[in-house]
Amino acid sequence: MYWTLELASKLEDAPWPATKEELLDYALRTGLQQEVIENLIEIEDEGEVYESIEDLWPDYPTKEDFFFHEDEY
């Protein structure tokens, strides 16, 4: 399983919080790339609920990771 920024960003609009099955259903219904679907299939599932993409890929950058402040513009 590998995540890139491009692949992980496809799940930003997923119905969070979600289980593995719900994320797979979302990916299939919305026609996401095969790599995203394969990554979701490879998740070792213990029935847990994921709150956001950071639960799947802890290195996913957040708005705080960028060096600008939106409120200044």
Q: What is the pLDDT of residues 3-56, one digit of tens each?
A: 788 888 899 899 999 999 999 999 999 999 999 999 999 988 888 999 998 888
- Classify residue 65 as left (phi > 0), alpha (psi -120 to 50) or beta: alpha
Query: pTM (2 decimals)?
Result: 0.79
Check residue 69 and give its pLDDT. 56
51-65 tens-digit pLDDT: 998 888 887 776 555
- What ranges do the domains of the chain cover? 16-54
Residue 13: HSE in the Cβ half-sphere, 13 Å Cα cutoff: 6
Question: CA-to-CA distance for 4 and 55, rounded, in angstroms?
Answer: 15
